[in-house]
């Protein structure tokens, strides 16, 4: 399996499971890997976080969000439906 496909699949699963909170979790995993000096894992978690951010940003187009509703809340509502 292509690395980009795998990264996107993993990111999508985290977003499905955790909604917008996935970003915080993925950052924590990246920090944990950094504390262990595991550069390969730091990069992998970073790539997964980037993919999750993209998924969340494209899940609910800005034009369909009320200006008063934060993106995270709107994206979570979209995934909950």
The most distant pair of C-alpha atoms in the chain lies apart, rounded to whole Å, by 42
Structure confidence by residue, pLDDT tens digits, 40-64: 999 999 999 999 999 998 876 655 5
- What's the whole-model pTM score? 0.73
The SS3 call for residue 28 is helix
Q: What's the pLDDT at 31?
A: 97
Q: What's the pLDDT at 81?
A: 46
CA end-to-end span of the chain: 30
Single out the residue of 72, 65, 80 nearest to residue 16, CA to CA. 80
Helix intervals (H) in 19-70 = 21-35, 39-59
**Number of domains making up the chain:** 1
Structure confidence by residue, pLDDT tens digits, 13-42: 999 999 999 999 999 999 999 999 999 999
Range(s) of the domain holding residue 19: 3-80
């Amino acid at each position: 399996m292509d690395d980009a496909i795998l990264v996107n699949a993993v990111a999508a699963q985290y977003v499905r499971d955790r909604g917008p909170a996935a970003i915080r979790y993925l950052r924590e995993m990246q920090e944990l890997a950094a504390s262990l000096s595991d550069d390969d894992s730091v990069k992998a978690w970073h790539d997964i976080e980037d993919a999750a951010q993209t998924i969340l940003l494209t899940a609910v187009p800005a034009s369909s969000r009320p200006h008063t509703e934060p993106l995270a809340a709107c994206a979570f509502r979209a995934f909950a439906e």
